Amino acid sequence: MFLPKRAVLPLILVGGSILLGGWFLQEGVSRQENVFVQVRLFQEVMDHVSQQFVEEVDPAVLYDSAIDGVLEELDDPNTSFIEAQDWEDFRIRATEGNYGGVGLEVVPRDDFVTVMSAVPGGPGARAGIRPGDRFVEIAGQPAEGMSVDRAVEILRGEAGTSVDVKMGRNGLDDPISFSLTREIIRLKSVPFAVVLDGAGYVPLQVFRTTSSDEVRAEIERLADEGARGIVLDLRGNPGGLLEEGIDIAELFLPAGEKVVETRGRALGQSEVYRDGTPEVFPEIPLVVMVDETSASASEIVAGALQDHDRALVVGAPSFGKGSVQTLFTLSGGNVLRLTTAHWYTPVGRSIQKDVPQDRSDLPHGAWTLDNDLVATEDLPDRPEFQSTGGRTLLGGGGITPDLWVIQDTLATSESRAVQALYAQQGVFTRTLFNFVVDYLQANPRLAPDFSVDDALVAAFVRELRSSDFQASAQVLREADRYVRYQLESEIALQAFGEEGQFLRLQDRDRQLQEALRALGQSATPEELVALADERPGANPVGG
């Protein structure tokens, strides 16, 4: 996702008229007159249907269907109509990351709204609410059968106000009462940052209003702790705000360098964005990590730094979203997210895929322990470009890494077994979550070096079978490595948070280990980039 910070305020009727313009072209009628006729004709049809159709029809439903039809005609997966009741969640998740609430991530579980995680330092976490706790009562209202949306609506509110809740907890007969004072919850773009093997590791999850400030602060802290280089991990980052992508690229580029160019049809949509500030970290070697789920603003950062030979890009080819979306505020609090431009890297590369990426178009792929399907073979031929330093780079189909590394993949028999488990993924995930909740309550002093032994795996398999999970003994045996990994990952996450989960699993992250190896061989940014494969798009390493 790739969004400007400032919403545009168009006239709805004008926008609608232009979109309807292709439907009723009439010979001999000017464009302006034709638009007016089309709008009037459309309204006449709506009036007749809503007033005289044999069955009563809700006009609001008709208009919603018309809007959906217009947007579907564009055949653009990135254009959407966001209803007013959904806009707040979209704003929090995609742009600002701030809201008034109690800092609890919740999911539906067995007819109860259940805590999945608690924001560190938030009201819920400080009060002692744990993952696995389920809401029995919220603000005096019984919570059994309550939807997640309704629960979130009640829990959110103005900072300083309070909400009383009663929580059920496994092993306790009676609910626990909590009085929570709402605060401004700030969702961090960088959940943690650590030094690994002398290098700083900074995972950036989304591009929100505070992202560049968070990245800069973490790099400065890691440098003070002795980090000799930086790994900026953009894997899984879907994008976000254009300005934040530019600001992050500016941390590593000299003033005046081109960062990205947008080209659109409407006034103000075509622009060249250049670095407006001096380079903040000129001497720090930088690796940028991307994968199949790195999109939009993530690709802008990776593309700009790759074009200028400022970073070594490691991982797998990125998603390939080279378009720009603008948010248009509409009446009633609704919002239109509309694709208004395409963007290009500093040397003119478009990384847009012509077909929406559903991963079915990968030449050959394999499943990983993290439930990802990754490419394991050369991508199709694509146009070649030259970086500012003369290196050959590829356009189209996402950002191709300088070092393409395949994660640990499953063998054929394992893949078949895991795909059989995927058919019941909902039962598997729910059982895993509940099993780990019970396990941690029984082991409150669990150490980070805990063991996932045969007895623990067997206990989890018994829990699966008691949950009507349909899988043969052979399937579970062949999926043993996958089951152990998922169990280990969930325990680490619930017990020690995202950082603890990362530290537990990082030695099996082949892409990360390759990034750290490259940084260990390089004292300067120039030495690091010199490690890039001179054959772009060559077969990846690993498997």
Catalytic residues: 296, 307, 321
Contact indicator for 325, 341 with CB cutoff of 8 Å: no
DSSP 451-477: ---HHHHHHHHHHHHHTT----HHHHH
Measured CA to CA, the distance from residue 101 to residue 124 in angstroms comes to: 9
Measured CA to CA, the distance from residue 515 to residue 403 in angstroms comes to: 9
**Nearest-CA neighbor of 510 among 376, 399, 398, 404?**
404
Per DSSP, 508 falls in state G
Per DSSP, 409 falls in state B
Task: Report the b/e string of 85-104 with b at 16+ CB within 10 A.
Answer: eeeeebbbbbbebbbebbbb
Tell me the C-alpha to C-alpha distance, in Å, between residue 346 and each of 58, 272, 273, 283, 314. 50, 9, 9, 22, 19
Measured CA to CA, the distance from residue 299 to residue 303 in angstroms comes to: 6
Q: Residue ranges of the alpha helices (H) in 385-479?
A: 412-422, 425-442, 454-466, 473-478
Helix, coil or strand: residue 154: helix
What residues does 343 pair with on adjacent strands? 262
Measured CA to CA, the distance from residue 341 to residue 325 in angstroms comes to: 7
Measured CA to CA, the distance from residue 356 to residue 450 in angstroms comes to: 42
What residues does 184 pair with on adjacent strands? 100
**Nearest-CA neighbor of 104 among 61, 147, 66, 148?**
148
Measured CA to CA, the distance from residue 539 to residue 245 in angstroms comes to: 29
